[in-house]
Amino acid sequence: MDGSCHCGAVTWRFDGVPEGATACNCTVCRRYGTLWAYDYEGEGAHVSGPTTVYMRGTRSIGFHFCPVCGCVAYWRGREPGKDGRRRLAVNLRLAEPHAVGAIPIDHFDGLVAFDDLPRDGRCVADMWF
């Protein structure tokens, strides 16, 4: 599956279908309105195109957005983990609805508890409106 910003300058590809789409309520994600699918850079998630990066707080991740149209395309870990792999999450809202509509929503409390919450039966198609 793949996605792109509105103008098409920034693209991403996700190998396979994600097990879930994460809706996070942290101070950044709730403002962006993103739905994330996670993997590792160059493994299951691939990105291309010029981006501008916004880093917040501890600066452990950078939010990458298109410098032309402003769409948030993905976030990338600033440093590789202990295993040498760099975490990456693509914004599923940049994919075509039919490609991601059936993916279940995973809720993450990034504001208070910093913990996964139980699924409530909704999928990406339920979050479009």
Q: What is the mean pLDDT of the chain?
A: 95
Number of domains the chain is built from? 1
pLDDT score of 9 more than 90: yes
What average pLDDT does the segment 22-36 reach? 96
Its domain, for residue 31, covers: 2-127
**DSSP of 76-116, one letter per residue?**
EESS--TTS--EEEEEGGGB-HHHHTTSBEEEEETTTT-EE
- Measured CA to CA, the distance from residue 59 to residue 77 in angstroms comes to 9
Q: Is the pTM of this model over 0.85?
A: yes
Q: What is the CATH number of the domain that holds 38?
A: 2.170.150.70
C-alpha triplet 6, 66, 25: angle, nearest 5°: 90
